[in-house]
Structure 1
Amino acid sequence: MAALIKVRLSLMMFLEFFVWGSWYVTMGTFLGANLGARDQEISLAFSTQSFGAIIAPFVVGLIADRYFHAQRILGVIHLIGAVLMYFLYQSQDFSEFFPILLAYMILFMPTLALVNSISFNQMLNPAKEFSVIRVWGTIGWIAAGILISAFAWDSQAGLVDGLLKNTWLMAAIVSLILGIFSFTLPHTPPKAKTEGDFKLSEVLGLDALSLLKDRNFAIFFLSSILICIPLAFYYQNASPFLTEIGVENSTGKMTIGQISEVLFMLALPIFFSRFGIKKTLIVAMLAWALRYVFFAFGNADEGVWMLLVGIALHGVCYDFFFVSGQIYTDAHAGEKFKSSAQGLITLATYGVGMLIGFWAAGIISDFYLLSEGNHDWKSIWLIPSGISVLVLLFFMFLFKDEKIKPQNNL
């Protein structure tokens, strides 16, 4: 790729994940502190991500693969998203907040597949080039978290004063910037045929489901669903957990996970080429199980190091599973349905898997709610750790290692 294209794609990734990181990490804390939401209401709010992800492959398959340029769709979505974020900033109670968030996430989740599709469209060797571009998304997420703690919006005083609502305003402003910038991105025209007989499966992008005929990809797809059940516990509970047990500047500390994500993102091509897809995914799932053990036995005092190690493992968890999984999916998809294939894996991970996970996390968190208003966090965290181990064993025994083609010349 030309240097200027790399810069534009990197900025796209930075802004995309800055918008998401601006509010997503602290939403559970915000809902509890600002809107008085209960555990199951918080679970419902996080589930909007999954509803959006389930719809994503149909939206992307219908629009990006067949009729319109992906970068234009990306721009329109983020402009609308800026307006919805501002409405969320003004929300006064959960009943007003939830439908706006649901509408936003139905629009936002397809953009995760769109930014990947725009990037892959410019690459000759995604296995080598993608991580260098994608790492800027992680840097954007880090920047959002650092700003939140720097402004003390997530501090005890900030929570009392209701300052955490400013995260939504920050997201609205950056979403507006990204919406405008998207129209300057490299052209990503539709690749699927628009001529010939009308087929509903093609229009909706369901032809990407043909990938599941490959046994290995089907096992990977199912493992992606299952491993996202424990992942949902982290996204939903980590910020409220750290805040409840008294960890200061918790949002800033949680960016340690994204900092490690940057390091492991850069190491991924080397690890990927040396050990292959299977071992890369195994390491990711093992890190998931260990992370929750550290959370279960850590505390805000002498055991804070365990919490920090658990947060730092996020880099291994995310990069070695999600980014390598995106590369693996792209290699199997071929040219015709790159966008819908990315939408399909988004459905598996952020959609079905996390929908189950958020639902389970809400029930389990409510079950372990103590009479004084705190939670039995040790019991809560050991459950997703156990689930991670079971998924790891399933994957290890059934998935056969393979070379990534045609991008196997790292």
Structure 2
Amino acid sequence: MNTTTRVKLSAMMFLEFFIWGSWFVTLGTFLDKNLSASGSETAAVFSTQSWGAIIAPFIIGLIADRFFNAEKILGVLHIVGAVLMYQMYNATEVSVFYPYVLGYMILFMPTLALVNSVSFNQMKDAEKEFSTIRFWGTIGWIVAGLCISYLFLWDSKTGLESGLLKNTFLMAGIASLVLGLMSFALPATPPKVAKGEKIKLSDILGLDALSLLKDRNFAVFFISAILICIPLAFYYQNAHPFLSSIGVNEPTGKMAIGQVSEALFLLLIPVFFKRFGFKVTILVGMIAWAVRYALFAYGNAGELSFMLLIGIALHGVCYDFFFVSGQIYTNSRAGDKYKSAAQGLITLATYGVGMLIGFEVAGMITDSYKLADGSIDWKMVWIIPAGIALVVFLLFSVFFNDKSKPESVLDAA
């Protein structure tokens, strides 16, 4: 890969995740402070991510893979997305905001696959080259958080009182427009499917990979992946509002610690696989969710603030050791015939079905523990997902019993 192409792909990844990190982290607090949304209304807004994940395979399979270059579709989606972001910036009620965020997520979720497609199309050795390109996506997410907290001060006490958090949508919209225009200058990535070739619905949704569920161990992992998304949804939906409401300064910037952790622990996955095997690695990821939420439940913005920071820093263990490890395990069990279908099925099950259930549960729990003065009993809100994560941990430890060697999982990946 030449230097020009590497720079273009790195910039693409940076902007892709800068856009997402610009507004999604602070979304819960924005809905509460700017739009006075209830827990159920907040859950509905966050669930648009799941609907986007469910619909994304159709956009990729029916359009991107058949008719148009991936980089051109990427450009169109981000330009339209910039318009929707501007409408979200102007919205003053949840009922007005919701249709725009739903439309946006339906358009944005497919771009996560498109940027990967554009990148892989330019690589001779994806295993060595992709991580260095994807790394800039994590940097983009971190920079977005630092800008919100330390450059613009939108999530400061004064910023929240003044309603400045809505500016995150304007920032995301500008970045989306830039990436949309830049996409037309990206390397050409033509359709994968030849003209006239038929695509089955089962191919698009990865349903052919359902045969993998005949393997008892894979079925246990599959069900566990859906269930662990319930506590994951609590973090996405409630972490920022929680930190803001208890008086943590610059919460968005501090939450960027989680992305730094994610990048670091990503490098440790091969070490854990070889030393402890897949089961232990994924169990560590599961128990980390329970520990993280226990830290959130008993920490505070004062003398126990270190507990909150440790909880944020555990994001790398929580996410990488379960979800990234799970993707590698799925790849190893799928075989050449079902590799793409299996990854599509896992994505549909987790970010689609699992997160959809999780956001709904998180909204119900948050509403249930809202006090008479309008505040929230955050201790109970965090103890419940900690308990859910612990139950999933116990179920997986008892019923998953894959005896394959750790090296075979890595080799297949």
**Structure 2-normalised TM-score?**
0.89
CA contact (8 A) 1:10 1:133 kept: yes
Q: 1:71 to 1:334 in 2, by over 3 A?
A: farther
CA contact (8 A) 1:192 1:337 kept: no
- Aligned residue number for residue 376 of structure 2: 375
CA contact (8 A) 1:61 1:205 kept: no
- Aligned residue number for residue 63 of structure 1: 63
Q: Which moved more, 1:392-401 or 1:297-306?
A: 392-401
Cα-to-partner distance string for 1:379-405 (whole Å, 9 max, x where unaligned):
111111111122222333325254577
CA contact (8 A) 1:277 1:401 kept: no
Q: Which moved more, 1:189-198 or 1:77-86?
A: 189-198
2:174 counterpart of 1:173:
yes
CA contact (8 A) 2:70 2:114 kept: yes
- Aligned residue number for residue 72 of structure 1: 72
What does 1:107-256 correspond to in 2, within 5 Å? 107-123=107-123, 126=126, 129-150=129-150, 151-192=152-193, 195=196, 199-202=200-203, 206-256=207-257
2:400 counterpart of 1:398:
yes
Displacement of 1:7 in angstroms is 3.7
Query: Following the alignment from structure 2 to structure 1, what is the Cα–Cα distance between the partners of residues 350 and 44?
Result: 17
Q: 1:111 to 1:173 in 2, by over 3 A?
A: same
Query: Following the alignment from structure 2 to structure 1, what is the Cα–Cα distance between the partners of residues 339 and 12?
Result: 19
Query: Following the alignment from structure 2 to structure 1, what is the Cα–Cα distance between the partners of residues 226 and 55?
Result: 15
Displacement of 1:11 in angstroms is 2.5
Query: Following the alignment from structure 1 to structure 2, what is the Cα–Cα distance between the partners of residues 294 and 340?
Result: 37
Q: 1:306 to 1:320 in 2, by over 3 A?
A: same
Displacement of 1:272 in angstroms is 4.1
Displacement of 1:3 in angstroms is 5.2
Q: 1:56 to 1:214 in 2, by over 3 A?
A: farther
Displacement of 1:2 in angstroms is 5.1
Displacement of 1:127 in angstroms is 5.2
Which of 405, 408, 411 matches 1:408? 411
Displacement of 1:240 in angstroms is 0.8
Query: Following the alignment from structure 2 to structure 1, what is the Cα–Cα distance between the partners of residues 331 and 181?
Result: 28
What does 1:344-355 correspond to in 2, within 5 Å? 344-355=345-356
Residue identity opposite 1:311 in structure 2: I
CA contact (8 A) 1:126 1:327 kept: no
Query: Following the alignment from structure 1 to structure 2, what is the Cα–Cα distance between the partners of residues 276 and 118?
Result: 33
- Aligned residue number for residue 18 of structure 2: 18
CA contact (8 A) 2:221 2:400 kept: no
Q: Which moved more, 1:384-393 or 1:215-224?
A: 215-224
Displacement of 1:199 in angstroms is 3.8
* TM-align CA RMSD: 2.8
Displacement of 1:203 in angstroms is 5.6
CA contact (8 A) 1:9 1:119 kept: yes
Displacement of 1:300 in angstroms is 0.8
Q: 1:216 to 1:176 in 2, by over 3 A?
A: farther
Q: Which SS does the other structure have where 2:353 is aligned? A: helix
Query: Following the alignment from structure 1 to structure 2, what is the Cα–Cα distance between the partners of residues 59 and 337?
Result: 20
CA contact (8 A) 1:60 1:340 kept: no
Query: Following the alignment from structure 1 to structure 2, what is the Cα–Cα distance between the partners of residues 113 and 214?
Result: 28
Q: Which SS does the other structure have where 1:353 is aligned? A: helix
Cα-to-partner distance string for 1:307-337 (whole Å, 9 max, x where unaligned):
0000000111122223333444455567777
- Aligned residue number for residue 36 of structure 1: 36
Residue identity opposite 2:15 in structure 1: L
Q: Which moved more, 1:31-40 or 1:176-185?
A: 176-185
Cα-to-partner distance string for 1:252-286 (whole Å, 9 max, x where unaligned):
11111112122222333444454443333222112
Q: Which moved more, 1:276-285 or 1:204-213?
A: 204-213
Cα-to-partner distance string for 1:170-228 (whole Å, 9 max, x where unaligned):
00011112222333334444445654666443466544545545554443332221111
CA contact (8 A) 1:32 1:38 kept: yes
Cα-to-partner distance string for 1:21-66 (whole Å, 9 max, x where unaligned):
1001111111111111112111111111111112122322323344
Residue identity opposite 1:361 in structure 2: A
Query: Following the alignment from structure 2 to structure 1, what is the Cα–Cα distance between the partners of residues 283 and 118?
Result: 28
- Aligned residue number for residue 88 of structure 2: 88
Query: Following the alignment from structure 1 to structure 2, what is the Cα–Cα distance between the partners of residues 25 and 250?
Result: 10
- Aligned residue number for residue 49 of structure 1: 49
Q: Which moved more, 1:12-21 or 1:96-105?
A: 12-21
Q: 1:269 to 1:73 in 2, by over 3 A?
A: farther
Q: Which moved more, 1:213-222 or 1:243-252?
A: 213-222
Q: 1:238 to 1:24 in 2, by over 3 A?
A: same
Residue identity opposite 1:38 in structure 2: S
Q: 1:289 to 1:91 in 2, by over 3 A?
A: same
Displacement of 1:17 in angstroms is 1.1
CA contact (8 A) 1:118 1:188 kept: yes
Query: Following the alignment from structure 1 to structure 2, what is the Cα–Cα distance between the partners of residues 211 and 190?
Result: 28
- Aligned residue number for residue 104 of structure 1: 104
**Structure 1-normalised TM-score?**
0.90
CA contact (8 A) 1:329 1:341 kept: yes
- Aligned residue number for residue 358 of structure 1: 359
CA contact (8 A) 1:65 1:339 kept: no
Displacement of 1:141 in angstroms is 0.9
